[in-house]
Chains A and B, each alone.
Chain A
Amino acid sequence: MSNTFLGMPTLPVFGRGNLNATEPFPQAAHRELGNAQLRANLGHATHTIRDKRLKVVAELPDWEDMRDAGSAIKNATMAQLPALLEQFEANFTARGGTIHWARDAQEANEIATALIRETGETEVVKVKSMATQEIGLNEYLEGQGISALETDLAELIVQLDHDKPSHILVPAIHKNRSQIREIFLREMEDVDPALGNEPARLAETARRHLRKKFLSAKVAVSGANFGLADTGTLAVVESEGNGRMCLTLPETLITVMGIEKLLPSWSDLEVFMQLLPRSSTGERMNPYTSLWTGTTPGDGPQNVHLVLLDNGRTAALADEMGRTALNCIRCSACMNVCPVYERTGGHAYGSTYPGPIGAILSPLMTGIKSEENNSLPYASSLCGACFDACPVKINIPEILVHLRGEDVDSKRAKAKVPTQTDLLMKGAEWAFSAGSRLNLLEKGLPAGRLAAGRAKVIKKLPGIGGKWTQSRDIPAPPSQSFRQWWAKEHGAPNAAAPGTTGEGTISEGGRP
């Protein structure tokens, strides 16, 4: 079918669920920064993974070629998304799978619940999945009397501790081994109190805890890393084997996947299965990857469903400047290199998607005006490390700046009177439009020096300037401006400042 849209353009329909910052980022960050243990855990983990990633990426002579291909494949996917979704649906269905479409989190949760009810089961095993975190499936199922057991080690830790994930790849990155040991001792039955805190022993404890569940599970819920349109194939990438257990042993498999996870063809997967493992865990390849297409008689689940989820993805797609955020393959390289994430951790972002990608994806999916999501695009120093690390070259800093603009525009539209920022900008416009005006202002420098006092720092500015000084001091201004100094040294009025030609407004600056 044609991709050309002939109908009335519709307003973007935003996503719901666990996509919102519930308090402004600066406030949340301030609190999290006070947790020294968290900072130590995160600092250790992010630096470990950074070094690993750099090492395995440097091994490949064609890494940049692969990033270029990955970026182009994802852009091509988004440009042809309706046709690819229909192609995927036809192929997956032809091989015995069933497709469901969910407009939002609520609809996806209802579909999954109904499918589980049909089986008569009240317990399901789960493979780690961002999409089901985003829609809050576990909480929803609990309300419906169905318990969902997370089987990924880190998700299990978070679930046992009644905590929230703080990283998309390693949800328990904020916990260290001793904390994990304590959680196991407290929450698991039959754990030997002599359990040590060596990661190998902790992993073995998780194996014993989950083994019986795996072997008897009738229903599994998963996400998917990729869906291949030309074959109808789904892929799940994992390490522990919990994914294989869930995808192979139960009779019923329900997968929830965002509509943007498609790739046009089987051969495109060759790019992404090289980009993803090296970018996420810093391994040449992850231990296990499972691929399935509908059902295979005699092998694996015979009752196979896929829920295709919108939940704000189409709203992100409608933003021409921001839509490449949908190219994200959830590797987490951006958060591992981010100086802000490294210090605040993932909880400060509120949304299921933390870090640099979350700071753009969350407001794109919910709209900039949703709850406190307008504070997220400012959760960055715009250093650009995330852009360099991104395997599909999402220009995160550019989209952050774009969303800051959206935020300012949305606030301006709402405010009846000019804001402090508007007034400051007006003032700056006046001052910087003529040298004579700037000169006039520069006469105030000694007053600033006076305000700085003997310590020669200004610790607190009034008004919105206070936001700057709440975490930084401003050094005392010099006693004279460069141009005042030049005029004095060279005896202006006639000598022009260096770099000026005596023409236009700049020459005015030469005259005191």
Chain B
Amino acid sequence: MSAREEILDRIKSALRDSPAVPQIPRNYRRETDKTAEQRLGQLVDRLEDYKANVFVVPAAGAPARLAELLAGCASIVVPHGLDPQLLSALPRTGTGDAGTLAVAVDSPERPLTVAALDAVDAVVTGAAVAVSETGTIMLDGGPSQGRRIISLVPDRHVCVLRAADIVEVLPEAMARLEATAPQTWISGPSATSDIELERVEGVHGPRTLDVLILT
């Protein structure tokens, strides 16, 4: 008998008392009524608690704010589907401006190598949805977020989130996500509590997380 058959048989034998399948009581909050403004405030509070840097700007002011944030960088990577408008205020290489910035674009067709990703100063991505109650930003591999590796290897992650994509509780966010998409849920920069259970930011993932929220 194969291991598969044998294990399934063992389980069925173990369940020969035919335990009842209980109804699931879902009395927990699955949707909420916080206003957009309250959700924004809550998310900012939570992210700052995780030691992320949060910037709230009107959508029109995003390119300028992003350029300001990246002022000290020499190179960044972006996913192929990131809104090009966001990058419009960056001092691009080849323009002859002072403090020019090399922008590498990663796409499934032309993926960057690990070494190339390790060499850039930052990555700029979009986000699928965010949960204000837990301070969690979800990436689902969509065109504005790219392959999982690009938001992992660079030491700084600048995440651009539309305020309209902020929900309050986790069930609301999960309802918007496709389960089978490769996902990364991010709640602050990389951290550890492994030494005396004290939280310390900055281990293997990006040690700096900047969140640019567009209202």
A binds B: yes
Residues of A whose CB lies within 8 Å of any CB of B are: 3-5, 7, 9-10, 12-13, 41, 44-45, 48-49, 52, 61-62, 65-66, 68-69, 72-73, 75-76, 78-82, 85-86, 95, 100-103, 107, 151-154, 157, 170, 172-173, 176-177, 180, 199-200, 202-204, 206-207, 210-211, 214-215, 228, 230-233, 239-242, 244-245, 247-249, 259, 266-271, 273-274, 277, 281, 283-294, 296-300, 308, 310, 314-315, 317-318, 320, 323
Q: Is B98 an interface residue (CB 8 A)?
A: no
Contact of B149 among A102, A233, A300 (CB under 8 A): A300
Q: How far is the CA of A290 from the CA of B134 in the complex (A)?
A: 16
The contact string, 1 if C-beta is below 8 Å from chain A, for chain B 25-36, is 111111000000
Q: Which residues of B contact A271 (CB under 8 A)?
A: 28
Q: A82-B8, A200-B200, A310-B7 are in contact. Are A72 and B25 (CB under 8 A)?
A: yes
- Expressed in whole angstroms, the minimum distance between the Cβ of A248 and any Cβ of chain B is 5
Which residues 192-210 of B sit at the A interface, judged by CB distance below 8 A? 192-206
Contact of A287 among B9, B18, B170, B189 (CB under 8 A): B189
Q: Which residues of A contact B25 (CB under 8 A)?
A: 65, 68-69, 72
Given contacts A172-B194, A203-B203, could you give 16 more A-B pairs where the C-beta distance is less than 8 Å? A176-B196, A199-B192, A199-B198, A211-B204, A244-B152, A244-B205, A259-B11, A267-B174, A270-B170, A273-B170, A273-B185, A281-B197, A287-B186, A300-B148, A300-B182, A318-B13
- Expressed in whole angstroms, the minimum distance between the Cβ of A314 and any Cβ of chain B is 4
Contact assessment for A314 and B7 in the assembled complex, using a CB-CB cutoff below 8 Å: yes
Contact assessment for A239 and B192 in the assembled complex, using a CB-CB cutoff below 8 Å: yes
Contact assessment for A287 and B200 in the assembled complex, using a CB-CB cutoff below 8 Å: no
Contact assessment for A153 and B203 in the assembled complex, using a CB-CB cutoff below 8 Å: yes
The contact string, 1 if C-beta is below 8 Å from chain A, for chain B 101-117, is 00000001001001100
Q: How far is the CA of A230 from the CA of B180 in the complex (A)?
A: 10
Contact assessment for A85 and B187 in the assembled complex, using a CB-CB cutoff below 8 Å: no
Contact of B203 among A3, A242, A259, A289 (CB under 8 A): A242
Residues of B whose CB lies within 8 Å of any CB of A are: 2-4, 6-30, 46, 50, 108, 111, 114-115, 118, 131, 133-136, 141, 147-149, 152-153, 170-171, 174-175, 179-206
Q: A4-B18, A215-B153, A290-B183 are in contact. Are A240 and B190 (CB under 8 A)?
A: yes
Contact assessment for B184 and A288 in the assembled complex, using a CB-CB cutoff below 8 Å: yes
Contact assessment for B24 and A239 in the assembled complex, using a CB-CB cutoff below 8 Å: no
Q: Which residues of B contact A4 (CB under 8 A)?
A: 12, 18
Q: Which residues of B contact A200 (CB under 8 A)?
A: 200-202
Find the A residue at minimum CB distance from B7.
A310
Contact of A308 among B7, B198, B203 (CB under 8 A): B7
Contact assessment for B153 and A240 in the assembled complex, using a CB-CB cutoff below 8 Å: no
Q: Which residues of B contact A298 (CB under 8 A)?
A: 108, 111, 147
Q: How far is the CA of A284 from the CA of B75 in the complex (A)?
A: 34
Q: Which residues of B contact A314 (CB under 8 A)?
A: 7, 10-11, 13-14
- Expressed in whole angstroms, the minimum distance between the Cβ of B12 and any Cβ of chain A is 4
Q: Which residues of B contact A100 (CB under 8 A)?
A: 3
CB-CB nearest 6 A-B residue pairs:
A241-B205, A318-B14, A241-B204, A5-B12, A240-B203, A314-B10
Q: How far is the CA of A308 from the CA of B25 in the complex (A)?
A: 29
Q: Which residues of A contact B204 (CB under 8 A)?
A: 151, 207, 210-211, 214, 240-242, 244-245
Q: How far is the CA of A210 from the CA of B192 in the complex (A)?
A: 15
Contact of B3 among A9, A101, A241 (CB under 8 A): A101
Q: How far is the CA of A215 from the CA of B206 in the complex (A)?
A: 14
- Expressed in whole angstroms, the minimum distance between the Cβ of B41 and any Cβ of chain A is 15
Q: How far is the CA of A55 from the CA of B135 in the complex (A)?
A: 16
Q: Which residues of B contact A157 (CB under 8 A)?
A: 194
Q: Which residues of B contact A102 (CB under 8 A)?
A: 3
Q: A44-B196, A66-B28 are in contact. Are A299 and B147 (CB under 8 A)?
A: yes
- Expressed in whole angstroms, the minimum distance between the Cβ of B135 and any Cβ of chain A is 6
- Expressed in whole angstroms, the minimum distance between the Cβ of A169 and any Cβ of chain B is 9
Interchain residue pairs with CB less than 8 A apart (13) = A10-B13, A48-B197, A69-B24, A69-B28, A76-B24, A101-B3, A103-B6, A177-B195, A249-B153, A284-B135, A291-B181, A296-B182, A298-B108
Contact assessment for B12 and A203 in the assembled complex, using a CB-CB cutoff below 8 Å: no
Q: A62-B28, A69-B24, A231-B180 are in contact. Are A9 and B13 (CB under 8 A)?
A: yes
Q: Which residues of B contact A199 (CB under 8 A)?
A: 192, 195-196, 198, 200
Q: How far is the CA of A5 from the CA of B17 in the complex (A)?
A: 9
Find the A residue at minimum CB distance from B30.
A270
**A102, A267, A288, A323, most chain B CB atoms within 10 A:** A288
Contact assessment for B14 and A317 in the assembled complex, using a CB-CB cutoff below 8 Å: yes
Contact assessment for B16 and A9 in the assembled complex, using a CB-CB cutoff below 8 Å: yes
Q: Which residues of A contact B2 (CB under 8 A)?
A: 101
- Expressed in whole angstroms, the minimum distance between the Cβ of A421 and any Cβ of chain B is 30
Q: Which residues of A contact B148 (CB under 8 A)?
A: 244, 247-248, 290, 299-300
Contact assessment for A202 and B198 in the assembled complex, using a CB-CB cutoff below 8 Å: no
Find the B residue at minimum CB distance from A210.
B204
Q: Which residues of B contact A180 (CB under 8 A)?
A: 195
Q: How far is the CA of A250 from the CA of B196 in the complex (A)?
A: 31
Contact assessment for A299 and B187 in the assembled complex, using a CB-CB cutoff below 8 Å: no
Q: Which residues of A contact B191 (CB under 8 A)?
A: 239-240, 287
Q: How far is the CA of A176 from the CA of B194 in the complex (A)?
A: 10
Contact assessment for B171 and A270 in the assembled complex, using a CB-CB cutoff below 8 Å: yes
Q: How far is the CA of A214 from the CA of B115 in the complex (A)?
A: 11
Contact assessment for A153 and B11 in the assembled complex, using a CB-CB cutoff below 8 Å: no
Q: How far is the CA of A284 from the CA of B199 in the complex (A)?
A: 13
- Expressed in whole angstroms, the minimum distance between the Cβ of B176 and any Cβ of chain A is 12
Contact assessment for B170 and A274 in the assembled complex, using a CB-CB cutoff below 8 Å: yes
Q: How far is the CA of A95 from the CA of B94 in the complex (A)?
A: 43
Q: How far is the CA of A148 from the CA of B20 in the complex (A)?
A: 42
Find the B residue at minimum CB distance from A52.
B197
Q: Which residues of A contact B203 (CB under 8 A)?
A: 153, 203, 206-207, 239-242
Contact of A62 among B3, B19, B27 (CB under 8 A): B27
- Expressed in whole angstroms, the minimum distance between the Cβ of A110 and any Cβ of chain B is 11
Q: Which residues of B contact A95 (CB under 8 A)?
A: 180
Q: Which residues of A contact B136 (CB under 8 A)?
A: 285
Q: How far is the CA of A66 from the CA of B169 in the complex (A)?
A: 13
- Expressed in whole angstroms, the minimum distance between the Cβ of A366 and any Cβ of chain B is 15
